[in-house]
């Protein structure tokens, strides 16, 4: 059996190695149009930022090492330019000299990946304008910074790559501005959780221009003139397009292979395309979202590697199936970590789920053990069924551990109420006896049995207009004086029983504290004395972060730039 693989990196290289492990006699040839067969795509921003110092650390395999270990023939700088399914061959162009040849196959695996989105606007051919997708792109940016010593950069796009670049370029000493068409960065997150990311970037001096688009580029003396849709022009020493990626599927389209959303390659759960003996994996393929069941494009290394393994299994005669992706992701932003899995609240609503949520602010480990920090967790679930739909976490430490537990729970079909029953490891340096994931489960179980009734940040403006409710802040006097919501009366939770006469009877009471714990205790005191009480989800800390983020948007310049 001869297997030809188009593209390396994650899916193609993984498939090649797996095929060899399953079939020692197979002839395997990989064609890769770049100069690198397998590299750490996710590490590219960190090489630019000098976190990864050695260029060779980015290269996971070379053609020589791949052949030595797996007897896989890898031909870099070779581009497959046509597929001929009727005679089971591909046309390959040698990029160094432009000559072409045909290669036969028994099985063909397409792993072309995705290409950076480059808008059709004026000036995209500027030598001071860059994209970041390949090692070659990385070296070009790195060399430009080394030679020209730019002092400023504008990043067009605020997805994962854009935010990682913002951090790394800021750490190099550049003045960084991020332009994002949406009104938030990192759109897999809900806006309330993205507010923590915005705050961390601003804290480190990164300027955010949200809700605006780049419409063109020009030259202005030695600078790049970045033109915005509002008419403003930003002068900068260099600019980087980080607008996302689109499936690179022209080759498949020309071969008559069926395409799906955004012209991605349609595959079944065995990674088979519409053409016999042709498989496809990675960023170029349409998959099913594991939670919503809807068609999706999820451009992540984890799914690409799994798909490569599954395609290899099926090429070798096994029966492996791909069950979709939850989109589990994590990102470092200076001292903050942000992670998500499953559906965001907004995405769940778009899919017409009946959505509920809890927001909590637990410590990363036992509070009495030194070094702990507060994280913010948002867990989304379906009303009535209590099916887990998604989760988002931001914090200084312990985020990765909890998001993986929640991702596993979603995959395994654990109900949101059953999070309280998970038996998770505990020692003071690592967690609490009631882990934050357990705490989320306790809260959701309390919602189910009626012990907890919630109110949320978007209800605040309506509540402040009402006269038929009592607004109660149960933090200490000192905390209250350091910042509070106008209209909320301060009665510390430890004084509440003695001061119940100050809470009008017969009116619903909406309660807040710093994290949500003391206010929950206050609601139980109130309900035990005949009141109807609602606890604020997330606490004043969460409220203040969200409102500060909204205030930045409100007081931005007409073009949307953060005021200094």
What is the 3-class SS of 454-497, one letter each residue? EECHHHHHHHHHCCCCEEEECCCHHHHHHCCCCCCEECCHHHCH
pTM passes above 0.85: yes
Cα four-point dihedral sign 305, 309, 312, 314: negative
Q: What angle (nearest 5°) sits at the alpha carbon of residue 512, between those of residues 391 and 449? A: 60
Instruction: Determine which one of 42, 230, 351, 559 is catalytic.
Output: 42
Dump the DSSP string for 507-524. Answer: S-EEEE-SSSHHHHHHHH
Q: Does an H or E element contain 41, and which?
A: none
Residue 58 has pLDDT above 80, yes or no: no
Dump pLDDT digits (tens) for 315-374. Answer: 999 999 999 999 999 999 999 999 999 999 999 999 999 999 999 999 999 989 999 999
More confident residue, 90 or 39: 90
Q: Determine the average pLDDT of the residues in 290-303.
A: 95
Residue 151 has pLDDT above 60, yes or no: yes
Spatial separation of the C-alpha atoms in residues 233 and 242, rounded to whole Å: 19
Question: Which bin fits 165, alpha (ψ -120 to 50), beta or left (φ > 0)?
Answer: alpha
The number of residues in the chain equals 564
Lowest mean pLDDT among 66-80, 412-426, 479-493, 541-555: 541-555
pLDDT of residue 561: 61
Q: Is 42 a catalytic residue?
A: yes
Give the gyration radius of the chain's Cα atoms: 27
Contacts of 418 (CB under 8 A, 6+ apart): 409, 441
Buried b (16+ CB within 10 A) or exposed e, 357-368: bbbbbbbbbbee
Spatial separation of the C-alpha atoms in residues 198 and 175, rounded to whole Å: 16
What percentage of the chain's residues is helix, strand, coil (to nearest 5)?
Answer: 35, 30, 40
Q: Beta-carbon neighbour count of residue 323 at 10 Å?
A: 11
**Average of per-residue pLDDT values in the chain:** 95
Strand order in the sheet with 489-490: 454-455, 533-536, 509-512, 470-473, 489-490
């Amino acid at each position: 059996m001869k297997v030809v693989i188009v593209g390396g990196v994650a899916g193609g290289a993984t498939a090649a190695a797996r095929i060899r492990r399953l079939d020692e006699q197979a002839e395997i040839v990989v064609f890769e149009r770049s100069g690198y067969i397998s590299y750490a795509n996710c590490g590219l921003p960190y090489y630019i930022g000098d976190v990864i110092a050695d260029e060779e650390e980015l290269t996971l395999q070379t053609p020589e090492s791949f052949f030595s270990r797996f007897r896989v023939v890898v031909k870099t700088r070779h581009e497959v330019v046509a597929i001929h399914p009727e005679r089971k061959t591909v046309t390959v162009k040698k990029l160094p000299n432009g000559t072409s040849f045909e290669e036969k196959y028994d099985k063909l695996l397409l792993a072309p990946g995705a290409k950076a989105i480059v808008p059709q606007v004026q000036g995209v051919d500027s030598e001071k304008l860059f994209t970041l997708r390949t090692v070659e792109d990385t070296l070009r940016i790195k060399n430009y910074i080394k030679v020209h010593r730019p002092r400023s950069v504008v990043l067009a796009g605020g997805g994962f790559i854009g935010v990682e670049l913002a951090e790394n370029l800021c750490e190099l000493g550049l003045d960084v501005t991020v332009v994002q068409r949406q009104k938030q960065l990192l759109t897999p997150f809900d806006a309330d959780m993205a507010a923590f990311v915005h705050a961390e970037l601003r804290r480190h001096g990164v300027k955010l221009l949200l809700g605006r688009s780049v419409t063109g580029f020009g030259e202005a003396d030695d600078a790049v003139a970045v033109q915005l849709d509002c008419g403003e022009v930003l002068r900068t020493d260099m600019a980087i397009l980080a607008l996302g990626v689109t499936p690179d599927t022209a080759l498949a389209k020309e071969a008559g292979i069926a395409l799906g959303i955004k012209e991605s390659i349609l595959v079944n759960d065995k990674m088979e395309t519409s053409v016999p003996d042709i498989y496809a994996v990675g960023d170029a393929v349409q998959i099913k979202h594991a939670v919503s069941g809807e068609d999706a494009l999820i451009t992540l290394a984890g799914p690409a590697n799994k798909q490569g393994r599954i395609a290899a299994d099926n090429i070798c005669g096994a029966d492996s199936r791909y069950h979709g992706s939850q989109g589990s992701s994590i990102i470092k932003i200076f001292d903050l970590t942000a992670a998500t899995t499953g559906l965001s609240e907004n995405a769940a609503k778009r899919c017409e789920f009946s959505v509920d949520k809890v927001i909590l602010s637990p410590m990363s480990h036992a509070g009495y053990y030194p070094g702990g920090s507060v994280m913010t967790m948002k867990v989304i679930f379906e009303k009535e069924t209590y099916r887990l739909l998604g989760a988002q976490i931001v914090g200084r430490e312990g985020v990765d551990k909890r998001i993986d537990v929640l991702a596993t729970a979603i995959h395994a079909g654990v109900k949101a109420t059953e999070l309280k029953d998970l038996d998770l490891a505990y020692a003071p340096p690592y967690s609490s006896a009631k882990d934050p994931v357990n705490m989320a489960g306790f809260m959701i179980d309390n919602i189910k049995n009626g012990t907890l009734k919630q109110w949320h940040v978007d209800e605040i403006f309506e509540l402040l207009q009402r006269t038929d409710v009592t607004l109660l802040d149960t933090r200490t006097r000192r905390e209250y004086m350091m910042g509070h919501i106008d209209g909320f009366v301060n009665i510390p939770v430890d004084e509440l029983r003695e001061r119940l006469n100050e809470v009008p009877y017969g009116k619903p009471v909406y309660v807040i504290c710093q994290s949500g714990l003391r206010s929950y205790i206050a609601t139980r005191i109130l309900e035990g004395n005949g009141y109807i009480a609602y606890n604020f989800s997330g606490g004043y800390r969460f409220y203040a972060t969200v409102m500060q983020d909204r205030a930045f948007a409100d007081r931005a310049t007409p073009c949307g730039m953060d005021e200094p």
